[in-house]
Amino acid sequence: MNGTPRALNRVLLFIIGAVFLAIGVLLVLLASVPSFASWWHGWSAGVWGSAEGAFEQTRLPGRQESWLWIVAALVVIAIIVAMIAWLSQQGKGKANFLVSGEDDGDVEGLVTIGGGVAEQALRAALADRPDLAGASVATYEFKGQPGLRVRIQPRQGVAPHLLATEVSQLLEALDLVIGKKTPVLLHIVSGARAKFTRAERVR
């Protein structure tokens, strides 16, 4: 419901995980396989020698430094900028107001209802339910319109469709209170907490 780039995040996590896995396998092979360690030392020495030769051949006129260091610095700066841009996209789309518009009554004016009002009301209504292991409510903007994302975690043995019906009734009551039908994403999840926590009246 928000603007978080989930596909990009998964790709980056896969790449980072593959890199760490390769490093771990390499370290294990270096420590446990003598023939591989000997090959690695010879290969890495050749690569290091080639790198030194490349730096010597690309020295700046009248200086000992290579212009490859400038390229490396620019690459590092580009990576930092890309990381900042990536971090700025995380959680993007969160809205501050659930209702914002002109009043349709006799008195002209602007009516705004903060998202925190709906969030706190729903959290309070869901907090003491013995059939829930956890619940969270957040306000997000979706296609230019504010809406609610309700995430609930039922305990083991709770029927999801009955729980969804009861939560939908709470949302309908909220619509009556604020005077506007609000788009809602209801997300029912399960996890270890739902399996290992005790329920008072459901199992």
Looking at residue 196, what is its pLDDT? 46
Can you say how many angstroms the Cα of residue 42 is from the centroid of all Cα atoms in its chain?
43
The pLDDT of residue 65: 81
CA pair distance 119, 170, nearest whole angstrom: 12
Residue pair 87/75 in contact (Cβ under 8 Å)? The answer is no
DSSP state, residue 94: B
Task: Please name the helix (run of DSSP H) or strand (run of DSSP E) that holds residue 139, with its range, or none.
Answer: strand 132-142
d(CA 16, CA 28): 18
Q: For residues 51 and 68, is the Cβ–Cβ distance under 8 A?
A: no
Mean pLDDT, consecutive 10-residue segments, the chain of 203 residues?
70 92 93 90 89 85 84 93 82 67 58 76 82 82 77 84 85 81 81 46 32
Task: State the Cα–Cα distance between residues 88 and 3, nearest whole angstrom.
Answer: 10
Tens digits of residue pLDDT in 129-144: 888 888 888 887 777 7
> What stretch(es) of the chain map to CATH 3.30.300.30?
97-196
For position 123, what pLDDT does the model report? Answer: 83
Chain CA centroid to CA 188, Å: 18
* DSSP H or E run through 111: strand 110-114
- Dist. CA 89–CA 87, nearest whole Å: 5
pLDDT for position 93: 62
Query: Looking at residue 21, what is its pLDDT?
Result: 95
- Tell me the CATH class for 97-196: alpha beta
Phi, psi torsion values for 154, nearest 5 degrees: -75, 155
